[in-house]
Structure 1
Amino acid sequence: MTHPMTNPSKQKLEKYGSGSYLASDVTVLLDIVDKDAVADVPVSQKEALIQSGQRHYSDMLTLENAPTAMHEQLYQQALTQGTTRTATDIANLAYTLHHIFQQTVRPERPLVLVSLVRAGLPIGVLLQRALAESDNNSSNSHYALPSMHYGVSIIRDRGLDAVALQMILDAYPDSPIVFVDGWTGKGAIYQELARSLDVFNNPSHPNFANIFHQGKNVIPLLTLADPAGVAWLAASEEDWLIPSGLLNSTVSGLISRSLYTEPQSGLHRSVFYDNLVAVDHSLAFVDHIDGARRALSTPPQDLQTFKQPRYQTATLIDTLAMDYNISNRNRIKPTIAEATRAILRRDPERILLASADHPDTVLLRHLCSERDINITVLGAKILPYQAITLIKQRATDRS
């Protein structure tokens, strides 16, 4: 067997960076390109191009600016409010992973966490740190587990970066892989992941056990929150104000949303926002939550896993599509995090809220008043979602 230090497949992975995270936190398998080499497309123009089918969203970027003072303040409030919950959720997830994999993983065949860029990155880093806890630390040794962590691009309609996944499989031929995301909205990324992994979903495939270690057809997707009911393992199914969901690159290692690359041309691409270093929270966020996790006095809980998606919000999405005459589901952005990102990055028509004054939607409501966006309060009808953004129809619906 090849000695781990001289494994050429592992050496290939080592040349990639970690964004603004520590090298021990993650290796991000993306080709970083210069900002000047990327078309900076204004939001309204981008919306028209996407919806008319002229351009795919993963072929364009609207370059990020630093968050406003109000945005920063609301992030800090969300962090204060959500620290203990995030820390507890990470502890429970790490404990459950330890429980599931402790018999099968070893330092030479670690669990491989594959975070979906970008929302999965902060969660994956927090898990990687939790799993790396030393056995000498008696309070947390109940979830120490050998693990490696990579960030990989996934793009709606275009799938998981197959080149990146193959690099990981070559480097860790005996390791189980778990995919990590921040939250689920409608379950579209779950379906994208399932489509991308379908080729491995056959017991005779040499990599079947790397991915389908929980059984045939079981997609090992882990999320912090899973309102859509599609994850194999999630800390909860609630839509709540996940602090990392409020920011974009400045809580995701300064990595931009990924840009598609044809598999024969290499890895998906990304921009590194070196101009935002002064306002980057990526390391501060994980340090803060990690410290809070280590200080928890409550013992971690073993979480339930699900072999198959429940899709408990599918009927609600169908109803909303009918009520608002939306033929293209991509224009419906549920969850507080997704609704907020859509306001910042897209061209919204209206926001639907479950409650007019829920503390978790303060930023959303502030952004709406700032940009004169309609708010409709629909009450319990949209639960478990607290918020849903509807994107404006800009052209013939094809996105």
Structure 2
Amino acid sequence: MTLPNIQTKRATLKNYGSGSYLASDVTVLLNMVDKDAVADVPVSQKEALIQSGQRHYSDMLTLEQAPTAMHEQLYTQALEQGTERAATDIAHLAHTLHHVFQRKVNDEHPLILVSLVRAGLPIGVLLQRALSDTDRGYSLPSMHYGISIIRDRGLDPVALQMLLDAYPDSPIVFVDGWTGKGAIYKELARSLETFSDTTHVNFANIFHQGADVIPLLTLADPAGVAWLAASEEDWLIPSGLLNSTVSGLISRSLYTEPSSGLHRSVFYDDLLDTDHSLAFIDHIDAARRSLAILPERLPTYQQPRYQTAALIDTLAADYGITNRNRIKPTIAEATRAILRRDPERILLATADHPDTILLRHLCAQRNITISVLGDKILPYQAITLIKQRSKDS
């Protein structure tokens, strides 16, 4: 039976919002702040501040604008093109989670899905919907939360502790959209080191797959670091094309010192008219429920393979880059970098791949150089190199 103090802690979690998702889809453990209280820093200025070390990227935002008509059109095309694959992948992931955890969880001690804000949110919501679908053989008691992770600053320790206090007997699986170089995996692993001692009271919550296994789940894992992924391919995940308008209208998270509370985020209420978050979830979820195929059990990995590490090393040497943060691989990251950062050039595997239409359109619009390198950058289809604004260190 759940103890009264744990029930109180679980009830407290419900005080937090879900962005523009349903309350049953996710609880986002972020302190939401008014966008008027956040400095709107232009991209070029932000890039100079980041690269010079004057400011960390998580201390400032470039406030989002509504996607252009062309951007919306390309998202719609990507959704049409990728619906069946995304739905199938979610079914396979849910089936695998059911197989792994069916004897370890119940209604009192559910599986806790922790999506990494923001790219993990749509995938986590889709998984929560799938695991809640009692008409399928892979249903599983689960709860879904979103928490912040920030490069160089780690997973929000306040949010994680709230979950560990509320669910002391539940296993946790971390959810992200995709992997690029594996940087977020490393950040996650570093943040969880404190729990890796087998005598730690929360060791079993996190290291339920083994003493060295970080339970990271992604839809796509080109970097080869996830414990569980639907594939290792770099493909056009539709939710990777938009920012807040497919992620619950939530901004990229802003850092807060643990002594001051949760990491912060802005809710873009001014973008409600262009929000696709729930429509995206409903569309993919309906496709999943209509699948005729039987779900498959996916492989899991005990150790990261870092299968693209040598490729990243080669690109860094070829382009004289010592700060690897300037290299943004995968279609999703390459696209987001063009929209949010100041790119120098785009590297493509092929000149006319259908999954890079938006990238090529944005490059033409902004006069960004494209280099087609063929097999040299596989398994990535696209990589953005950020413009150097200060001397790399």
Task: Give the letter for the 1:202 counterpart.
Answer: D
Alignment of 1:120-131 (within 5 A): 120-131=120-131
Please tell me whether residue 205 in structure 1 is matched to residue 200 in structure 2. yes
Aligned to 1:69: 69
Q: Partner of 1:270: helix, strand, or coil?
A: strand
Q: Per-residue deviation at 1:4? A: 6.3
Q: 1:109 to 1:374 in 2, by over 3 A?
A: same
Aligned to 1:385: 380
Alignment of 1:96-135 (within 5 A): 96-134=96-134
Please tell me whether residue 218 in structure 1 is matched to residue 213 in structure 2. yes
Q: Conserved in 2, the CA contact under 8 Å of 1:4 and 1:10? A: no
Aligned to 1:255: 250
Alignment of 1:164-203 (within 5 A): 164-203=159-198
Q: Partner of 1:287: helix, strand, or coil?
A: helix
Give the alignment partner of residue 278 of structure 1, picking from 257, 262, 273.
Answer: 273
Q: Conserved in 1, the CA contact under 8 Å of 2:6 and 2:167? A: no
Aligned to 1:234: 229
Q: Per-residue deviation at 1:396? A: 2.4
Q: Distance in 2 between matches of 1:2 and 1:317?
A: 48
Q: Per-residue deviation at 1:3? A: 4.4
Alignment of 1:7-46 (within 5 A): 7-46=7-46
Task: Give the letter for the 2:254 counterpart.
Answer: L
Task: Give the letter for the 1:39 counterpart.
Answer: A
Task: Give the letter for the 1:360 counterpart.
Answer: D
Aligned to 1:354: 349
Please tell me whether residue 152 in structure 1 is matched to residue 147 in structure 2. yes
The one-character-per-residue Cα deviations of 1:12-37 (angstroms, maximum 9, x if unpaired) are 21100000000000000000000010
Q: Partner of 1:181: helix, strand, or coil?
A: strand
Please tell me whether residue 88 in structure 1 is matched to residue 88 in structure 2. yes
Q: Distance in 1 between matches of 2:255 and 2:126?
A: 27
Q: 1:324 to 1:176 in 2, by over 3 A?
A: same
Q: Partner of 1:229: helix, strand, or coil?
A: coil
Q: Distance in 1 between matches of 2:338 and 2:126?
A: 27
Q: Per-residue deviation at 1:98? A: 0.2
Q: Distance in 1 between matches of 2:12 and 2:161?
A: 12
Structure 2 runs not aligned, ≥5 long: none
Q: Distance in 2 between matches of 1:196 and 1:8?
A: 27
Q: Distance in 1 between matches of 2:338 and 2:81?
A: 22
Q: Distance in 1 between matches of 2:360 and 2:387?
A: 18
Q: Per-residue deviation at 1:299? A: 0.3
Q: 1:380 to 1:4 in 2, by over 3 A?
A: farther
Q: Partner of 2:12: helix, strand, or coil?
A: helix
* Structure-2-length-normalised TM-score: 0.99
Q: How many residues align?
A: 393
Give the alignment partner of residue 338 of structure 1, picking from 319, 333, 338.
Answer: 333
Please tell me whether residue 310 in structure 1 is matched to residue 309 in structure 2. no
Aligned to 1:294: 289
Q: After TM superposition, what 4+ stretches of structure 1 lie above 2 angstroms from structure 2? A: 1-6
Q: Distance in 1 between matches of 2:236 and 2:4?
A: 41
Q: Conserved in 1, the CA contact under 8 Å of 2:349 and 2:373? A: yes
Q: Distance in 2 between matches of 1:22 and 1:69?
A: 27
**Two-structure CA RMSD over aligned residues (Å):** 0.9
Q: Distance in 2 between matches of 1:71 and 1:348?
A: 18
Q: Partner of 2:306: helix, strand, or coil?
A: coil
Q: Conserved in 2, the CA contact under 8 Å of 1:25 and 1:128? A: yes
Q: Partner of 2:192: helix, strand, or coil?
A: helix
* Structure-1-length-normalised TM-score: 0.98
Aligned to 1:60: 60
The one-character-per-residue Cα deviations of 1:91-139 (angstroms, maximum 9, x if unpaired) are 00000000000011000000000000000000000000000011xx2xx
Alignment of 1:314-329 (within 5 A): 314-329=309-324
Q: Conserved in 2, the CA contact under 8 Å of 1:4 and 1:108? A: no
Q: Per-residue deviation at 1:5? A: 9.2
Q: Partner of 2:116: helix, strand, or coil?
A: strand
Report % sequence identity.
Answer: 80
Structure 1 runs not aligned, ≥5 long: none
